[in-house]
Amino acid sequence: MKQIQKLFSLTSLFLLFTFLSCATANGFIKDGEFYTEPEVLPLTVLVNENQQWKEVTEGITFTEYKIPQIKVIWKCVKIDLDTPGLKLEFAPNPYNIENWFPTFHVKTYMKNQNWIVGINTTPFDKNKNPVGIIKYKKACNRSDAVENYSALVFSENPLRASILENQFLAENYDYSVGGFYTILKDQEIIEYKRFKRSRTACGTSENGRFLYLFATCADNCPSGRNGLNYEECAFILQFLGAEDAMEFDGGHSTALEIYGQKPVRPSLQRKVPAALGFTVLQTDDEF
């Protein structure tokens, strides 16, 4: 028993040291949260002014940057929803009603389903039940909508993405996933508390033709409590071309997986109950 207690104490000290060593790089802790000074870093620190988009496959590109001042990395995927053969995917499989809310790692699900891009979406409670809307046509149930949380919704013919500030407004859409709050509305940034976390977010532009999937976390650090705040995420997405943007679940849930590229996720990662992905079919396949 004493050996177990000693091992537990050493493990706890190691995790505490790791958290502090990650979180205190060029920043400070207040009320248990990590901040930088200034609390919202300027755009000149957050991005490279000559940010380049790299192709993953037709219609899907990504860009990335490592912020040296705070040892944080971010990546953003830009998807042209007009791409021939592009297919929207949900996890878990919406047709498996009896097992609709299992938890999984995005990297594992993405690999098994041959996704090109995958990102975690909806937050969840202590029992791993989703908190906020998830809807895939009529093939699945969904968790209850949350009025003050946002939702990413999709319409078809043509495929378009929109961000709603109230999840109850998603009733008329066939496809929707919930998250937290809208951070960018009509190119205007919305202010929130400014502590730093690993984050996942999404954005839209050109009347929903382009979808942006974004994630950030500390570089080589297991903690989910070091990254960017909502406004910094919004500044970056705005710089990259997004007109509207919202936050998905973050912290240790953060996961943006891109085929053939290094993912963005903390090394200590939670399993999640929901994710969004994309594949590109051959143009002669049915969409």
Q: What is the pLDDT of residues 75-110, one digit of tens each?
A: 999 999 999 999 999 988 777 666 667 799 999 999
Average the pLDDT over 55-60 and give the result: 96
For the ranges 4-13, 232-241, 273-282, which has the lowest average pLDDT? 4-13
The pLDDT-based confidence of 22 (bands split at 50, 70, 90) is low
CA 230/CA 131 separation, integer angstroms: 19
The encoded tokens of residue 13 equal 């000290």
- Which of 159, 165, 93, 88 has its CA nearest to residue 132? 165
- What's 191's DSSP letter? P
Q: Any long-range contacts for 80-84 (C-beta under 8 Å, 24+ apart)? A: 80/209, 80/210, 81/158, 81/159, 81/160, 81/161, 81/208, 81/209, 81/210, 81/211, 82/158, 82/159, 82/209, 83/58, 83/59, 83/280, 84/58, 84/59, 84/283
The pLDDT-based confidence of 249 (bands split at 50, 70, 90) is very high
Q: pLDDT at position 97, please? A: 60
Q: pLDDT at position 98, please? A: 63
CA 202/CA 199 separation, integer angstroms: 10
Q: pLDDT at position 56, please? A: 97
Average the pLDDT over 98-127 and give the result: 89
Average the pLDDT over 195-213 and give the result: 97
Q: What is the pTM of this model?
A: 0.90
Average model confidence (pLDDT) for the chain? 87
Q: pLDDT at position 53, please? A: 98
CA atoms within 13 A on the CB side of 252: 9
Average the pLDDT over 28-41 and give the result: 87
pLDDT surpassing 90 at residue 42: yes
Average the pLDDT over 171-198 and give the result: 94
Q: pLDDT at position 23, please? A: 47
Q: pLDDT at position 12, please? A: 46
CA 127/CA 135 separation, integer angstroms: 20
Average the pLDDT over 260-281 and give the result: 93
